Structure 1
Amino acid sequence: MLDDPEEQTRTVIGCKRLLVAIFYPEAYEALTALERDPTEANKVRFERELLKIKEMRTKGNRKRGVVELSD
């Protein structure tokens, strides 16, 4: 079933998209808009949603006492 690496990749991508759709619906809407119409405005909208997710994760990590390593 998942012996094919391409099928594994498609499955993983599909699962990740599903998780984004469930937990971050605004980001999913921005992603699908960008895929349908790859304009600069849609790119900016999607990047803004990604920043929101990153900020939420950073705040959550601080609350739990997780130390993040910078790039």
Structure 2
Amino acid sequence: LAQRNAPEILFNYLGRFSQDEGHWTPQRSQTRFRDAFAVAQDAQQALSYGLEVNIFVEERRDGACLAINWSWLEAIF
């Protein structure tokens, strides 16, 4: 069954991150993303799935914030 029906959607939960400095923290990119952590792919690299959803939770001083990064093949959607 797996060989006949390849998945078309990738759902990737990346975890929960805080804004505090510690042994390991996400890299911030204030010029491109407002999130503490974001998924960026090279535009020249083909997507492996028709729809890719990358999700993480960012712990902020005012509460937790759910961040979702969507990527899709324009030929399909």
- Whether TM exceeds 0.5 here: the answer is no
- Shorter-chain TM-score category? under 0.3
Considering fraction of residues, name the structure with more helix. 1
Q: Which has the higher contact order (CA 8 A, sep 6+)?
A: 2
The TM-score with structure 1 as length reference comes to 0.26
